[in-house]
């Protein structure tokens, strides 16, 4: 194992070797300064690089960025604790850090752990290359190929419990296709999901994400993170469906239907809400038995899969379009609130479940020349994405008319 320490301070060179104990006889430690580092790292490809903090911290961060393009394992040696600096270093890919004044046992333990981690990385990369060779992983993006998406996802669905998850398919819209880059989109997705979520190509420009936990609301949050990472470079749409089957083909069809609705309706995302043959979505219809607990469970599902996502999407869609206006929304077990606040006007839309087969939508406007307040009685089986969207958008237009 070849270890390279990069430092501009002679005293670190003189004392560091004594602190690095418990290494194997085959492990070698060498030194260089910041000016020599790029050429030496490029030519020698050491297994692990330890970068000592420079007086100019930006030089350390830039060196970490370069070293990570050449090797996998990097440790940071600091003079004093600086939280923001260390977090920036982690963002650029360091494996760990320790202080120059740390006890020799701590330095050695962290270095040995990095050696073990480096060996594991090399083993993983070897297997990853095999998967790319046999076209299970894409050679450019590193995610599952469209050739293997059904096989892998069927296996995941049968082995692991995804019942509290969701399937999301993402694709650029017509404007997004102009600047589309699979690498950029996949990079944004990888930065936004957890290790337990499965990312796969779906043919053309579509990307599937099999989400392990969080349900529909979790999928919506992931979508917002992805859009934030893309920073407007690629405009995307999404179709989301709950996990109602352990067959990927069924879920794929549902998610694709939702994506089509999203594209046609010019929506950021759409959620599949049609009932399935497996009766996993019986909450879409009123329970036949007049039982409060059944109706309550049905309403809770409506909150999770219809009302909350619609409120969240419309909040994100309108909060930058309404001048000098605060857009708030939240849902709880007892009610759902969508509030618009402006110096001229405050308006509130509240959905309340009074019991059994209906909900009440209360719309109140406070301010001069306000529209009339409204009360809407809505049966549970009529609560749909389109229906709730229509009610909330009408409410927003009424509010907008009073501030313009």
Q: What is the pLDDT along the chain (404 residues), one digit of tens a residue?
A: 789 999 999 999 888 877 776 556 677 889 999 999 999 999 999 999 999 999 999 999 999 999 999 999 999 999 999 999 999 999 999 999 999 989 888 888 888 888 888 889 889 989 999 999 999 999 999 999 999 999 999 999 999 888 889 999 999 998 998 999 999 999 999 999 998 999 999 988 999 999 999 888 889 999 999 999 999 899 999 999 999 889 999 999 899 888 888 887 778 888 886 543 333 344 445 555 566 677 777 787 788 778 888 888 788 778 778 888 999 988 877 789 999 999 888 999 999 988 767 889 999 998 767 788 999 998 887 888 888 989 999 999 999 888 87
Gap between the Cα atoms of 294 and 203, Å rounded? 41
Specify the pTM: 0.58
Q: Are 402 and 371 in contact (CB under 8 A)?
A: yes
CA distance 334 to 353: 7
Spatial strand order in the sheet of 358-366:
326-331, 335-342, 345-355, 358-366, 374-379
Q: Tell me which DSSP letter residue 345 carries.
A: E
Task: Report how far residue 162's alpha carbon sits from residue 404's, in angstroms, rounded to the nearest whole number.
Answer: 47
Identify the structural domains of the chain with CATH numbers, from first to last: 2-132 (3.40.50.2300), 149-277 (3.30.70.270), 292-403 (no CATH)
**DSSP string covering 291-322:** -HHHHHHHHHHHIIIIIHHHHHHHHHHHTTTS
Spatial distance between the Cα atoms of 113 and 134, rounded to a whole number of angstroms: 32
């Amino acid at each position: 194992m070849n270890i390279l320490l990069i430092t501009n301070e002679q005293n670190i060179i003189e004392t560091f070797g004594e602190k690095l104990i418990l290494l194997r006889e085959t492990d070698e430690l060498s030194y260089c300064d910041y000016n020599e580092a790029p050429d030496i790292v490029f030519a020698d490809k050491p297994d692990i690089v330890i970068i000592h903090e420079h007086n100019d911290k930006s030089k350390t961060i830039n060196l970490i960025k370069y070293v990570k393009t050449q090797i996998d394992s990097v440790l940071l040696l600091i003079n004093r604790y600086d939280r923001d600096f260390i977090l920036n270093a982690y963002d650029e890919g360091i494996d760990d850090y320790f202080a120059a004044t740390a006890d020799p046992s701590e330095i050695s333990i962290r270095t040995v752990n990095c050696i073990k981690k480096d060996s594991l990385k090399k083993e993983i990369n070897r297997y990853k290359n095999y998967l790319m060779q046999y076209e299970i992983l894409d050679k450019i993006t590193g995610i599952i190929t469209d050739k293997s998406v059904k096989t892998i996802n069927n296996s995941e669905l049968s082995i692991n419990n995804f019942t509290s998850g969701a399937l999301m398919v993402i694709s650029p819209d017509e404007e997004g296709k102009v600047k589309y880059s699979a690498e950029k989109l996949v990079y944004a997705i990888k930065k936004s999901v957890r290790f337990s979520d499965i990312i796969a190509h779906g043919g053309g420009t579509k990307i599937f994400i099999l989400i392990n936990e969080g349900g529909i609301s979790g999928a919506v949050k992931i979508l917002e993170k992805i859009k934030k990472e893309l920073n407007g470079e690629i405009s995307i749409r999404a179709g989301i469906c709950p996990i109602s089957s352990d067959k990927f083909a069924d879920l794929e069809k549902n998610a694709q239907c939702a994506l089509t609705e999203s594209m046609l309706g010019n929506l950021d995302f759409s959620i599949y809400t049609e009932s399935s043959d497996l009766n996993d979505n019986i909450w879409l219809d009123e329970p036949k038995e007049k039982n409060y607990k059944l109706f309550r469970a049905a309403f809770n599902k409506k909150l999770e899969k219809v009302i909350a996502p619609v409120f969240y999407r419309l909040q994100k869609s309108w909060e930058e379009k309404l001048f000098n206006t605060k857009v708030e929304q939240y849902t709880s077990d007892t009610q759902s609130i969508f509030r618009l606040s402006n110096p001229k006007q405050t308006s509130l839309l509240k959905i309340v479940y009074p019991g059994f087969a209906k909900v009440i939508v209360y719309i109140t406007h406070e301010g001069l020349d306000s529209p009339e307040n409204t009360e809407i009685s809505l049966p549970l089986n009529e609560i749909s994405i389109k229906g709730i969207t229509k009610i909330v958008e009408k409410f927003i237009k009424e509010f907008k008319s009073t501030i313009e």
